[in-house]
Structure 1
């Protein structure tokens, strides 16, 4: 929230209910976006999964602003929309589970990617290491580097 913006103050039942419905809608859309992202990453369609990143960021910002407003108006929400407050708590628990699943999927994908890159680098390094009597050997180099004939490892980030 920008410093010049004044926080939303809930002062009646209609305003509180409208706020709750809006925040629930934002949470639902954000859950859907996270679910699509998780499904895409699980299926290996990383580029497709990341196409909604801008929309997800906007929804996350709206969600964060909504949470700040809810905290600032906790007493008003309890007074004017107690059923809405319970709905928000239930939705928050569901959202936390979806967010945790999404984070686990992304962490797994990151770990698998790192392991693949390490394995690839090891294989490329092994391919250029000469063997003498079955053992890896490095010939002396006037420049003090072993494996001077090996080329750089190139990685495409556009996958």
Structure 2
């Protein structure tokens, strides 16, 4: 429901079924976007996985607004379409599992990326530390041996 919009009120079976069908359609579409994102990220295709971010945001907003309308009309939905409410509960349980899977995949990808960056940083900084015991030695050049090009790391995925 958009800010300032007239609240949706369910007054008959057709309205109840329409409301449930609408929220189910949004959930199905959002679940598809999440599954595609998870699949791309699992296979290391981060750019493709994050390409639908705007669509995912729009669908998430529509889903949350739909849930608000469903909550506001819970009594009417139970009265006019109890079978559709049961279907909505089942679909919501499946959707919650899809969201959890997506969050697990994204968290794993983030952890792996951070680990790789930390390892790379450690390896790169190892050469700039003075080696050995005794007197101070000048730190090695950040560009490595003469004639080598510096390593460039992009943090943008």
User: Do Structure 1 and Structure 2 share a fold, with TM-score over 0.5?
Assistant: yes
Gaps of 5+ in 2: 144-149
> Distance between the aligned counterparts of 1:16 and 1:2, measured in 2?
19
Q: 2:142 aligns with which of 140, 150, 153?
A: 150
The aligned counterpart of 2:147 is: none
The aligned counterpart of 1:100 is: 100
Q: Contact 1:10/1:73 (CA < 8 Å) preserved in 2?
A: yes
Query: How do 1:41-60 residues align onto structure 2 when only pairs under 5 Å count?
Result: 41-60=41-60
Aligned CA distance change for structure 1 residues 38 and 138 (closer, same or farther; 3 Å): farther
Query: 1:158 Cα deviation (Å)?
Result: 3.5
Query: 1:153 Cα deviation (Å)?
Result: 8.1
Q: Contact 1:130/1:138 (CA < 8 Å) preserved in 2?
A: no
Query: 1:7 Cα deviation (Å)?
Result: 1.5
What do residues 27-75 of structure 1 show as CA deviations (whole Å, max 9, x unaligned)? Answer: 0000000000000100000000111111111110110010000000000
Aligned CA distance change for structure 1 residues 130 and 69 (closer, same or farther; 3 Å): same
> Distance between the aligned counterparts of 2:106 and 2:89, measured in 1?
26
Query: How do 1:1-159 residues align onto structure 2 when only pairs under 5 Å count?
Result: 1-132=1-132, 139=136, 147=139, 149-150=141-142, 155-159=153-157
Q: Contact 2:127/2:140 (CA < 8 Å) preserved in 1?
A: no
> Distance between the aligned counterparts of 1:79 and 1:35, measured in 2?
34
Aligned CA distance change for structure 1 residues 28 and 2 (closer, same or farther; 3 Å): closer
TM superposition score normalised by structure 2: 0.87
Gaps of 5+ in 1: 142-146
What is the root-mean-square deviation in Å for CA atoms of aligned residues?
2.2
Q: Contact 2:130/2:137 (CA < 8 Å) preserved in 1?
A: no
TM superposition score normalised by structure 1: 0.86
